Amino acid sequence: MSETNTNAPLLEVKGLKKYFKTRRGMLHAVDDVSFKIERGKTLGIVGESGCGKSTLGRAILRLLEPNGGQVLFEGQDVANLNAEQMRLKRRDMQIIFQDPFSSLNPRKTIAQTIGEPLKLNKIITDKNKRMERVLELMSIVGLAERLVNTYPHELDGGRRQRIGVARALALNPKFIVCDEPVSALDVSIQAQVLNLMKELQSSLGLTYMFITHDLSVVNHFSDDIGVMYLGRMIEKAPAEELFANPIHPYTKALLSAIPIPDIHYKMERILLRGEVSSPIEPPNMCRFAPRCNDCMEKCRTSEPALVEVSPGHFVSCFLASDEVMPV
Amino acid sequence: MSNVSDNRRMALEIENLVVEYRTHEGTVHALNGLDLYIEKGKTLGLVGETGAGKTTAGLSVLRLVPDPPGVIVDGAIKLNGETIFDKTDKEMESIRGKAVSMIFQDPMTSLNPVFTVEDQIAEVIERHEQLTKEESYVKAREMLELVGIPGTRGGEYPHQFSGGMKQRVVIAIALACSPSVLIADEPTTALDVTIQAQVLEMMKGLREKYDTSMLMITHDLGIVAEICDSVSVIYAGRVIEHGDLEDVFDNTRHPYTEGLFNSLPNLQDRQSRLKPIQGLMPDPRDLPTGCPFHPRCDYAKDICSKERPPKTYRNERHYVECHLYNSENIVEGKVINR
């Protein structure tokens, strides 16, 4: 097997790019994104529709082929692996999808769906032994044994999402991309699934990349949070630091927009103008400039780099970077 | 203060509404004696989870419950003091859009893709107001400006707008004839949080401008805290707790309402473990006996599975339907540990 450096971060992404060809030009879905995730930790990725957060998750697993950059998993660049090597690597890297209604095959029973990765990877070839493992996985995620032969349409959203979790766990992965795993669920069920995922993380030592648009969920769940806007990572910091001390004007507006279920909580809301601009052939300027309340002259002519303003806190905004590195 | 039950102060009153969907797979008991009232100029939040009956409640007010399979079995709805179940279909047509409008959840499907947005706004105005075609198009463009879309874009089709802008168009249609009651069914659920903030801010402004009474159907207690005056929490087709914001948020009494609050991640205390409500929503075809929440309730007693709890009032407005309470202990609370 390849060298495994246990001190290195489990996952390191360097300059990752994913572009899509459209009739109107290149769509920059993920544009030069870099970050690290330490073993056993959770990196939350937040952003609004179309910011590239799901594409980022898929490009890391090579469910979408990246156009550039590196994805180092335990120090090994997975972007260079051939198909067979990648197939083996995916045992360590799994994904839980957003929609528990469309991500399960309606013609397969729960047992077939959860057992499929074991069968395909020839991990457990014996049918009876495989069933034992399936039942074990079902009990780990809290699915009753009697449901083993049911089909997805017979189950509610919370139970379906538990199937998605069990399927992702089947191969004992080290790393799971969770792409909006609870956003299709009601709050009482959402809390059940979030608690389950947290318990699994500590008992199985999992590392998560948790993609969501829900800021209160990401705050609850993550060690570090990265904020994306139009394909760029515009701010990244430890969760508490980000909520206590947001620096990028977009992060500030995003945090101020969360409706808080407390009638005594009063927050000055920062309203943004307009809507997200087009990700197709973005001009060389700060991508947030058209909506920014603090936009300056140079924001429209050049793009700020992601710089570390305090330990672990990265921001790409001229307002912050000018203080650190005066021109 | 004046008498709250005075009819002239009520924009909308729903009393003991029972709605069933009679399907081949059995009868779905969507609403089981729903009581709801909104004072003139006020906003009521109707909060509950999927399948609680929120949308059926909204549709009933417009008499738009699909029939078949929907049957209104019992109850009364009064809109500005008038009973709507007495109205003919023709009369209902002039009430919808004029006296009461609805904003639907999904702006992608509630607009007609083959008509321009100004066509769709002008249609409502032409139907209800004595205006010429030209005048109604002028008014339609004014409505667009009002919701923050340049009037010059009126000739464009829904697909040319983003999600947030489509929802603004839907709001423009709903408000075009300044209805006295607006029913908003999860109006911002399909939108991103910064766009949601824009739309909520706009709705607050318009509500004040037109003095509209509003029924805000939502699952998000954060939105309720922000925009509503009072709250009704709905479970299995009944309001199980109702009161002003301070009553329900600061003096929560029903275990289900407590469970909803505890399920939410707390922004101030991120390490706290979430306390979800155990189990699942009951199947509305086969509701539990007694209190419908008892199988999931941490405080359930013997009586809870046998008798439906009566309303117990904490003050003139705040009540719960829960066997834990009597007229004495409801005032002090401390029965459930929030």
Mean pLDDT value of segment A132-155: 92
- Cα–Cα distances (Å) from B313 to B34, B46, B174, B194, B243, in that order, read 17, 19, 35, 38, 10
Residue A266 sits in the same domain as residue A140: no
Residue A198 sits in the same domain as residue A58: yes
pLDDT value at B131 more than 60: yes
Please give the Cα distance from B330 to B320 (Å, whole number).
Answer: 9
State the pLDDT at residue B191: 82
**Region class of B120: left (phi > 0), else alpha (psi between -120 and 50), else beta:** alpha
pLDDT category at B148 given cuts 50, 70, 90 is: confident
In the structure encoding, which two tokens stand for residue B178, read together? Answer: 């300044």
In this complex, the residue of B162, B195, B265 whose CB is nearest that of residue A217 is B265
In this complex, the residue of A189, A195, A254 whose CB is nearest that of residue B194 is A254
Place of tokens 């069920």: A189
Residue A188 sits in the same domain as residue A280: yes
- A295: containing domain: 11-92+173-324
Residue B165 C-alpha, separation from nearest chain A C-alpha, in angstroms: 9
State whether B192 and A187 contact (CB < 8 Å).
no
Residue B59 C-alpha, separation from nearest chain A C-alpha, in angstroms: 21
Residue A123 sits in the same domain as residue A199: no
State the pLDDT at residue A158: 85
**Touching check for B263 and chain A: CB below 8 Å?**
yes
Q: What residue segments make up the domains of chain B, in order of their start?
A: 7-99+179-332
Mean pLDDT value of segment A105-122: 94
Residue A120 sits in the same domain as residue A233: no
> Is A78 contained in some domain?
yes
Check which CATH number belongs to the domain holding A281 and give it: 3.40.50.300
In this complex, the residue of B259, B267, B270 whose CB is nearest that of residue A188 is B259
Interface test mutation site (partner B, options A46, A49, A54, A188, max chain B beta carbons within 10 A): A188
State the pLDDT at residue A8: 78
**Touching check for B220 and chain A: CB below 8 Å?**
yes
pLDDT category at A274 given cuts 50, 70, 90 is: confident
On chain A, the residues whose CB falls within 8 A of the CB of B223 are 259
Residue A217 sits in the same domain as residue A115: no
Residue A165 sits in the same domain as residue A142: yes
In the structure encoding, which two tokens stand for residue A69, read together? Answer: 């950059």
Residue A287 sits in the same domain as residue A142: no
Residue A19 sits in the same domain as residue A133: no
Indicate the SS3 state at residue B257.
helix
Please give the Cα distance from A291 to B33 (Å, whole number).
Answer: 48
> Is A186 contained in some domain?
yes
> Is A101 contained in some domain?
no
Residue A144, Cβ density class (10 Å: 0-12 exposed, 13-18 middle, ≥19 buried): exposed
Cβ–Cβ < 8 Å for A49, B162? no
Mean pLDDT value of segment B93-112: 90
In this complex, the residue of A220, A264, A272 whose CB is nearest that of residue B265 is A220
- Cα–Cα distances (Å) from B78 to B53, B65, B311, in that order, read 19, 16, 21
Domain boundary among A172, A190, A221: A172
Residue A27 sits in the same domain as residue A124: no
Give B172-185 pLDDT, tens digit per residue. 999 999 899 999 99
Residue B139, Cβ density class (10 Å: 0-12 exposed, 13-18 middle, ≥19 buried): buried
Residue A314 sits in the same domain as residue A248: yes
State the pLDDT at residue B163: 84
Please give the Cα distance from B103 to B67 (Å, whole number).
Answer: 21
State the pLDDT at residue A278: 87
Please give the Cα distance from B322 to B332 (Å, whole number).
Answer: 15
pLDDT value at A1 more than 50: no
> Is A98 contained in some domain?
no
Residue A40 sits in the same domain as residue A157: no
Across A31-35, B125-129, B248-252, B332-336, least confident range: B332-336
| Helix residue spans in A26-93 (DSSP H) | 53-60, 83-89
Please report the number of interchain residue pairs, chain A to chain B, with beta-carbon separation below 8 angstroms.
114
Closest C-alpha to B240, from B52, B91, B56, B105:
B52
> For chain B, first and last CA: distance in Å?
32
**Touching check for A140 and chain B: CB below 8 Å?**
no
State whether A259 and B223 contact (CB < 8 Å).
yes
Between strands A313-315 and B100-103, the pairing is: unpaired
Give B39-65 pLDDT, tens digit per residue. 999 999 999 988 899 999 999 999 999
Domain boundary among A157, A172, A187: A172
- Chain B CA closest to residue A51: B192
pLDDT category at B4 given cuts 50, 70, 90 is: very low
Please give the Cα distance from A212 to B60 (Å, whole number).
Answer: 35
Provide the whole-model pTM: 0.86
For B7-99+179-332, the fitting CATH number among 3.40.50.300, 2.40.160.40, 3.40.50.1950, 1.10.1530.10 is 3.40.50.300
The number of folded domains in chain A is 2
Residue A84 C-alpha, separation from nearest chain B C-alpha, in angstroms: 39
In this complex, the residue of A190, A198, A243 whose CB is nearest that of residue B263 is A190
Helix count and strand count (H, E) for chain B: 11, 12
Please give the Cα distance from A64 to A79 (Å, whole number).
Answer: 11
Domain boundary among A127, A143, A172: A172
Q: Which residues contact A79 (CB under 8 A, 6 or more apart)?
A: A62, A66, A69, A70, A71
pLDDT value at A299 more than 90: yes
